[in-house]
Amino acid sequence: MSGLVIALRKDLLLQWRGRLQIVAVFAFGAAALLLFSFAVGPDSLALRQHAAGFLWLALLLASTLSLAESFEHELEDRAIEGLLLLPAGPRALYYGKAIANWTQLALLGVALVPVMVVLYDAGTTRLLPLLGIILLGTAGLSAPGTLYAAMTAQARARQALLPLLLFPLVVPVLLAAVKATSLVILGDPMGQLRPWTTLLGLFCVVHVSLCGLLFGRVVEDG
Amino acid sequence: MSPRSRQWLAPALVVVGAALVCAGSAWGLFKAPPEVFMGEVQRIMYVHVPTAWNAMLALSFAFGCALAFLLTGDWKWDNRLEAALEMGVVLSLLLCMQGAIWAKPTWGVWWDWDPRLTTTAVRVLAVGAIPALRAFGEVPGRRAVWSAVACVIAFADVPIVYFSVKWWNSLHQAQSTPETVSSAFHWPLRINAFGILFLWTGLVALRARLSALRLREETAPPPPAEAAAATPAQGAW
């Protein structure tokens, strides 16, 4: 447990020192939100209806930037080899990195919500359910994303490989998070919010445990 | 069985499989009666349904190879994984194409966001990314572990994708099995199913042999003159 805390502290500190990059990723997400509205046209009703989808697509696209970046430091001067020698164990390293990535993505999601509200007139007063969906959805992105970032960081063509591997995998996250966010924004007369959030939670449980189990093999072998 | 007689088994499987697919398809095209509602279009079922079964089988075999490699570390499983993954992707792609050809005259559209269709498309992408990962990872040890890990995760993801898409939108026909179709349609369906099965197992065996040869070349020690000139290996974690 203490190994996890130390690993998490290291990763959060790394992110804090590289906070300019987080601002750049936010700007990327906001730019994506702006561009999506050009694809649909100035139809305010249609934009409001698709606002949740645009928010999560922007978040998904931005996530590949921040996830890929998260392993850059570990490869510099082969820092990862030193980390693996520590008594913390690879599982602590994985969960530390995944929680740090999750924090960053959740913050990004929260920061993109006002942009969505302003651009698409998609406001809501149910902020707590919206926050819960953002937390669950970004956890679902960062759990497999962290593992794949560890792999692709050392491969050629890593910019193309990470989305190639991650996007098909997180289709359930995208579907469930978009549906749930839509229900929060546009109203939920049929009470469908719970099954979608359950699906998100299930995805997170499966991937958080499976990726934690397999991470050791990815960084130790080869 | 001696290694020498096994060498002939894979090509023999390919030949028998190809012959069976020709026979089953000829039967399905010319001998079997047309279906009452869909007419001639339905004949694509004789390849579509066996392709679906075999795509699932090939990918399940790939998953088994991935688990076996992670547990035993035996390289033969990595070679088979590479072969089975490629076969699974090809069969799944064929499945999507046949589905689109059948859907246009039947549903009036090439594509529909039906759960099984969408799941197959997502599966093609998820599994198709793994050979790409292999192509870009140069160190054999890493390449093998990465693709086995990615395969396990992709396989665990397929049921979640299916259920999420099912809730999201649901129009596909109920699955066709010999029990759900008239007996006049049984034989071409069964012959093609076994034909495709023999064809892919033979091809996978041949492809795995090719992977084993490449691995032997990659891991062979360099000739003495080159070894003296070579720089130390880089970045090994």
Q: Minimum mean pLDDT among A63-77, A138-152, B31-45, B222-236: which range?
A: B222-236
Q: Which residues of B58-91 are buried (b: 16+ CB within 10 A; e: fewer)?
A: bbebbbbbbbbbbeeeebebbbbbbbbbbbbbbb
Q: Which chain B residues are Cβ-neighbours of A199 within 8 angstroms?
A: 160, 163-164, 167
For residue A13, the Cα-to-chain-centroid distance in whole angstroms is 19
CB nearest A206 (choices: B126, B154, B156)? B156
Q: At a CB cut-off of 8 Å and minimum separation 6, what does A186 contact?
A: A48, A49
Q: Minimum mean pLDDT among A187-191, A212-216, B8-12: which range?
A: A187-191
Whether residue A7 has pLDDT greater than 70:
yes
Nearest-Cα distance to chain B for A221, in Å, is 6
Rounded CA-CA distance B143/A185 in Å is 44
Mutant choice from A64, A94, A156, A164 vs B, greatest count of B C-beta within 10 A: A164
Nearest-Cα distance to chain A for B195, in Å, is 31
Are A168 and B152 inside 8 Å of each other by CB? no
Q: Which chain B residues are Cβ-neighbours of A205 within 8 angstroms?
A: none
Nearest-Cα distance to chain B for A191, in Å, is 14
Angle between helices A90-120 and A2-17 (to 10 degrees): 40
Q: Minimum mean pLDDT among A10-19, A211-220, B112-121: which range?
A: B112-121
Q: Which chain A residues are Cβ-neighbours of B139 within 8 angstroms?
A: 222
Answer whether A84's CB lies under 8 Å from B237's CB.
yes
Q: What is the ipTM of this complex?
A: 0.85
Digit-coded pLDDT (tens) for A92-123: 889 999 999 999 999 999 999 999 999 998 88
Closest residue in B to A180 (Cα) is: B168
Mutant choice from B113, B155, B167, B218 vs A, greatest count of A C-beta within 10 A: B167
Q: Which two tokens stand for residue A76?
A: 């510099």
Neighbours of B46 (CB within 10 A): 25
pTM for the model stands at: 0.83
Neighbours of A42 (CB within 10 A): 8
Average pLDDT along chain A? 89
Of residues A87 and B58, the one with the higher pLDDT is B58
The structure tokens 């299930």 sit at: A202
The radius of gyration of chain A's CA atoms, rounded to the nearest angstrom, is: 18
Per-residue pLDDT of chain B (237 residues; tens, 9 = 90+): 556 667 888 899 999 999 998 888 888 888 777 776 677 777 888 889 899 999 999 999 999 999 999 999 899 999 999 999 999 999 999 999 998 888 888 888 888 887 788 888 888 999 999 999 998 887 888 889 999 999 999 988 888 888 888 777 654 555 666 666 666 678 888 888 999 999 999 999 999 999 999 888 888 887 776 555 555 554 444
